């Protein structure tokens, strides 16, 4: 089901038609998830951390997935080991060392190839400071275009911290379901990073069938779908009217950008609330004796 959602996702199709490099990041993230799901073996742990390091090397903000991935790898450990505090600390140091070591080796190797360290500011500094204000489907470009220059540094760091601040709290809150924590963080990174793409959006939306059990608890599905469709239709129209024809302005394009971002925010909040509802029902039972069709209600565990 995930494969079909990915192959026929309009965002992925559009990304492929434009020949973007987001397909490589998506591949690395998929490989990371596949490796982490293979069990407690050493190879599984090493390969998942390796793919996360490669994804971070290409796209800086992927390092925010480390806490959730660490918890996912701990979940695969034997039950008797997970109750030990020393085990948790030792595994955290080991995982952080492996991830940091691989990433450092990649960066050092790049400096050797380039002959200098100047690429760090051009690659990773670019992702943080967002100097290119070319219109895109993210929030940064319009905000910084309208901002006074003396406030730019302050709000740049505020926006950067806004992306980073979710990583640890979300991982802790969803520590009993680390794959869902990774999914949530992927969606938040896509929403708030400076230069998102259709490929980023399509990838995390394609993972939704994994949690199809949450769909009955979701309440904003129709709103989200309609907003995504409206944004998909109006994006190219307003771009053409503004950039090519000149009969519109930046406000029109940014308005539909806000619709697109709002639809993703609604989706994330809705699916997180659905997750919490389902967990509450599993712990406390269903209150209703009948379903929407008047039949005896049943709680099915997928």
pLDDT at 290: 46
Say if residue 147's pLDDT is above 70. Answer: yes
Q: Give mean pLDDT, residues 143-154.
A: 87
Helix crossing, 250-284 with 221-239: angle to 10°? 160
Q: Is the pLDDT of residue 302 over 70?
A: no
Distance CA(91)–CA(143), nearest Å, equals 41
Given a cut of 70, whether residue 214 has pLDDT beyond it is: yes
- 4 CB-near residues (< 8 Å, 6+ apart): none
Q: Is residue 288 within 8 Å of residue 297, measured between CB atoms?
A: yes
Tell me the Ramachandran region of residue 53: left when phi exceeds 0, alpha when psi lies from -120 to 50, beta otherwise. Answer: alpha
CA 50 to chain centre: 18
Model pTM greater than 0.75?
yes
pLDDT, tens only, 239-276 = 888 988 888 788 889 999 999 999 999 999 999 999 99
Backbone angles phi, psi at 212, to 5 degrees: -65, -20
pLDDT at residue 273, as a whole number = 93
1/215: higher pLDDT: 215
Instruction: Report the C-alpha gap between 23 and 206 in whole angstroms.
Output: 13
């Amino acid at each position: 089901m995930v494969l079909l959602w990915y192959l026929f996702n309009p965002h992925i199709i559009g990304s492929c038609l434009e020949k973007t490099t987001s397909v490589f990041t998506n591949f690395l993230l998929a490989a990371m998830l596949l490796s982490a799901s293979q069990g407690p073996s050493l190879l599984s742990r090493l390969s998942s951390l390796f793919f996360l390091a490669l994804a971070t090397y290409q796209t800086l903000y992927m390092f925010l997935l480390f806490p959730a991935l660490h918890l996912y790898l701990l979940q695969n450990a034997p039950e008797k080991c997970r109750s030990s505090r020393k085990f948790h600390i030792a595994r955290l140091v080991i995982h952080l060392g492996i991830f940091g070591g691989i990433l450092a080796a990649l960066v050092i190797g790049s400096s050797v190839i380039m002959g200098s360290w100047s690429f760090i500011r051009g690659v990773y500094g670019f992702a943080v400071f967002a100097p290119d204000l070319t219109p895109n489907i993210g929030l940064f470009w319009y905000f910084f275009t309208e901002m006074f220059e003396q406030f730019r540094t302050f709000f740049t760091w505020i926006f950067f911290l806004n992306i980073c601040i979710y990583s640890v709290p979300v991982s802790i809150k969803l520590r009993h379901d680390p794959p869902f924590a990774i999914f949530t963080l992927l969606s938040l990174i896509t929403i708030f990073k400076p230069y998102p793409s259709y490929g980023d959006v399509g990838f995390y939306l394609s993972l939704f069938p994994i949690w199809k059990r949450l769909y009955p608890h979701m309440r904003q599905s129709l709103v989200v779908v309609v907003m995504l469709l409206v944004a998909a239709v109006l994006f190219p129209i307003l771009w053409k009217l503004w950039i090519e024809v000149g009969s519109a302005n930046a406000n029109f394009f940014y308005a539909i950008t806000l619709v697109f971002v709002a639809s993703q925010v609604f989706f994330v909040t809705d699916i997180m609330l659905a997750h919490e509802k389902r967990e509450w029902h599993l712990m406390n039972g269903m209150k209703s004796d009948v379903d929407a069709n008047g039949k005896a209600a049943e709680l099915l565990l997928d």
